[in-house]
Amino acid sequence: MKVINNPNKSEWSEILKRPTQTVNDIEDTVIQIFDEIKKNGDKAIYKYTQKFDGVNLETNKVSKNEIDEAVDKVPVKLQNAIKKAKQNIEIFHAAQKTPKVEIETTKGVLCWQEKRPIEKVGVYIPGGTAPLFSTVLMLCVPAQIAGCKEIVLCSPPNKNGKLAPEILYAAKLCGVIKIFKVGGIQAIAGLTFGTESIPQVYKIFGPGNQFVTVAKQLATKYGVAIDMPAGPSELLVFADETANASYMASDLLSQAEHGTDSQVILVSTSKLLIKEVSNEVEKQLNVLPRKAIAEKSIANSKMIYVENDEIALDLINEYGPEHFIISAKNDQFYVDGIMNAGSVFIGNYTPESAGDYASGTNHTLPTNRFSKAYSGVNLDSFLKSMTFQKISKEGLLNLGKTIELMAEAEGLQAHKNAVSIRLKDLKK
């Protein structure tokens, strides 16, 4: 990892660049695949599954038998771990339920807000080098709690035309039965337009590589909502001289092993800690099964020394990390001051892996600076807030003149008339 000492603020933008391709680099490919799937449906899906995943499928849909067989292939200990994680995710997301908001704004004018589930949602579960069955829990559990009527799951097949048993087990545990062996751009396009086999949805959730991220953004042009632009994984750690260097190195590597385009950053007010963490990263990296992937990610990553907490916090907020770990004696300063982060992990005994799997918080988070404007997935991600109002005769008499004056001032006579015609009857 490259070490940078006391960078000038004017250099931050360059230093904090993500190692990702620009949208222009891959947008043409995404548009071409979208156009073909819109036109040819499943035929195009099969074509791109063969091209990108190297497998010819007779059907996209996972059968009930395949789901049932998957259960037997998942070790009991892992089943119990998945159940425990699901329980914690359920507890945390169920706690996010909010009651109806109801208030009389003016005498006789009753306004309220209620939440309704998004009826049809698509969840994308990355496969590739690491099938993320934990993401099934992160997306399907809150969807179930919200009351979504239809949950459609897509994930890329392996070379044998199968999905990982753990993915199917987690899906079954969440009551999801509409599961399709489709990955990448073609999955997002299938969920956007609907095909002969894949249902069209109203909102698409889930992380993915840069192609999936751009595909999700393109889906919005066709009236389909998305959770957020969630691309390659990233982690920023702030650690001072009180931090445990081996712990910090393990956290950095835990995200570096996600993919070659992941990025991890250490910010510290201690040059000694930076040196210690650097040594630990090298030592721990050498024994990782995914060393080749993590090495490439580490090459995109940095260790940054700054003089004080105030500079560190400014730099972190500028970066806007997906995951933010705080290991410092003055951790409350960072807890109070962080404005831009997807999820925050505090203290030596809070590894980022806890949020990835089982603490209860959601791991589907905004990347690539989008934490400056987007929240991570939560219960409200699967709900819509709808407003209602009911006005009595007394209410219209109290509020009518205000509406008339405002409508007339905007030059919208029909708006005014809609009130005036009622007031005329009420004043008879």
Residue whose C-alpha is closest to residue 62's, from 211, 149, 209, 165:
165
Non-local (6+) Cβ contacts of 251 within 8 A are: 235, 237, 325, 351, 352, 353
Q: Using H for helix, E for strand and C for coil, what is the string for 125-158?
A: CCCCCCCCHHHHHHHHHHHHHHCCCEEEEEECCC
Catalytic residue chosen out of the listed positions 234, 280, 323, 363? 323
371 is in an annotated binding site: no
186 is in an annotated binding site: yes
425 is in an annotated binding site: no
380 is in an annotated binding site: no
363 is in an annotated binding site: no
* CA pseudo-torsion sign 287, 290, 292, 296: negative
Answer yes or no: 66 catalytic. Answer: no
User: What own/partner pairs with CB < 8 Å and gap ≥ 24 does 37-41 have?
Assistant: 37/186, 37/189, 37/190, 37/193, 37/195, 38/189, 38/193, 41/193, 41/195, 41/196
Catalytic residue chosen out of the listed positions 234, 257, 276, 322? 322
Contact between residue 52 and residue 188 where contact means Cβ atoms under 8 Å apart: no
Answer yes or no: 322 catalytic. Answer: yes
3-class secondary structure, 352: helix
Contact between residue 238 and residue 326 where contact means Cβ atoms under 8 Å apart: yes
60 is in an annotated binding site: no
93 is in an annotated binding site: no
169 is in an annotated binding site: no
Contact between residue 256 and residue 294 where contact means Cβ atoms under 8 Å apart: yes
**Cα 352 to Cα 187: distance, rounded to the nearest angstrom:** 29
247 is in an annotated binding site: no
Binding residues for Zn(2+): 255, 258, 356, 415
Binding residues for substrate: 233, 255, 258, 323, 356, 410, 415
Binding residues: 124, 186, 209, 233, 255, 258, 323, 356, 410, 415
Binding residues for NAD(+): 124, 186, 209
Catalytic annotation, residues: 322-323
